[in-house]
Amino acid sequence: MKTTQINALTIDVEDYFQVSAFEAYIAKNQWDSVPHRVEKNTHKILDLLDKKQVKATFFTLGWIAERYPEIIKRIVADGHELACHGYEHIRVTEQTPNQFRSDVYKAKNILEQLSGKQVKGYRAASYSINASNLWALNVLQELDFKYSSSIYPVKHDLYGMPDAPRFMFEPISNKDFKEIPITTIRFGNKNWPCGGGGFFRFYPYALSKWALNRVNQHEQQSAIFYFHPWEIDPKQPRQQGLAFKTRTRHYLNLEKMEARINQLLTDFKWDTMENVFDINPRSKP
């Protein structure tokens, strides 16, 4: 049965060589010299969303926006929400507060100048806001963001804040700012991921569908789902010398991803983060 709950569809706009797992293999000074796939893949996603009449939120790197401004213009022209993913995919755990502020300010400014729209949402690279750096949420609020979707309430070897609330909360006292965590399902006294990415490729589709339906129908909550343009691109250049875990996580079931996304768009109702979670715009100072 198709749920009546509306969920938030999100796309993290970054290229295959920018993922955190490849940091030790592809240096940032090589990014401009390797084949880029993000423009073609993002337009393919936009075509699919147009066909399905679905609106989504695109958390976009400033580095990508600088090089492919037409992506930004089409995202906005097609009625989607443009949001910020930082400038060059640096994990918050690797930054000082000043470095973080500079990175996010730069990216936000690029996105707003290209789009002519206020950018209200932010998502950290690799969900790297956790109990050790909650100061980052204060910085985001000071930079006039309205919400973050940067905390994943799971236990994971690379990220996670398992004790965080599972659904939208206000992390800053007396501030008009919200954190909207990636969706999990509670089972056996543990939070299990069901909000997309590699987990969606690893699990059978039927399990992901069941979990999202449970969040919608049993808990009466909207879910957040995310994926990346490179995840619908099984023909992307294959990196050599990767550790087994890294290789498996990145390449597993890429050839199945596009069909699964297509089915997901049919089985559930979707909209942008700002619409699903009622993020009202605020005029800039």
Structure confidence at residue 285 as a pLDDT band (50, 70, 90): very low
* Higher pLDDT, residue 283 or 204: 204
14-60 tens-digit pLDDT: 999 999 989 989 999 999 999 999 999 999 999 999 999 999 999 99
Q: Give the list of residues 6+ apart from residue 231 with CB closer than 8 angstroms, or none.
A: 197, 201, 254, 257
CA gap 212, 197 in Å, rounded: 14
Dist. CA 69–CA 81, nearest whole Å: 15
Is the separation of the CB atoms in 113 and 87 below 8 Å? no
| Model pLDDT for residues 56-81, shown as the tens digit of each residue | 999 999 999 999 999 999 999 999 99
pLDDT value for 282? 47
Q: What is the reported pLDDT for 275?
A: 97
**Res 239 pLDDT > 50:** yes
> Long-range contacts made by residues 200-206, C-beta under 8 angstroms, separation at least 24?
200/225, 200/227, 200/257, 200/260, 201/231, 201/252, 201/253, 201/254, 201/256, 201/257, 201/260, 202/252, 202/253, 205/260, 205/263, 205/264
Residue with token string 């936009």: 46
Q: Residue range 205-226: average pLDDT?
A: 96
Distances (CA, A) of 273 to 87, 107, 184, 218, 278: 20, 19, 17, 21, 8
**Beta strand 224-227 with 6-13: parallel, antiparallel or unpaired?**
parallel
Task: Give the other-Cβ count within 10 Å of 30's Cβ.
Answer: 10
- Say which DSSP state 180 is in: -
Over the stretch 164-199, which tens digit does the pLDDT of each residue have? Answer: 899 999 987 767 899 999 999 998 889 998 999 888
Q: What's the CATH class of domain 6-276?
A: alpha beta
The set of residues, in sequence order, having a beta carbon less than 8 Å from that of 281 and lying 6+ positions away, is: 118, 120, 146, 274
In this predicted structure, what is the pLDDT of residue 163? 85
Least confidently predicted of 82-91, 131-140, 276-285: 276-285
Measured CA to CA, the distance from residue 88 to residue 268 in angstroms comes to 32
Cα–Cα distance between 133 and 145 in angstroms, integer?
17
| pTM of the full structure | 0.94
Give the separation between CA 74 and CA 61, rounded to whole angstroms. 15
What is the longest distance spanned by two Cα atoms in the chain? Answer: 50
